[in-house]
Amino acid sequence: MSIPIKHIEGEDRGNFRLYALSTCMWCRKTRELLGHSGAAYDLIEVDLLDAGEREEAMAEVKQWNPECTFPTLVIDGKSSIAGYQQDKIKEALGEWPEKPWMIPATTAWKNISPGCAKTPRGAATTFSPIPTCWIAW
Q: Which domains does the chain have, with CATH numbers?
A: 6-93 (3.40.30.10), 102-136 (no CATH)
Per-residue pLDDT, averaged over 17-21, amounts to: 97
Where are the strands (E) in 34-109, listed by range? 41-45, 72-75, 79-82, 102-105
Cβ atoms < 10 Å from Cβ of 127: 15
pLDDT digits (tens, 9 = 90+) for 56-88: 999 999 999 999 999 999 999 999 999 999 999
- Give this prediction's pTM: 0.70
Per-residue pLDDT, averaged over 113-132, amounts to: 50
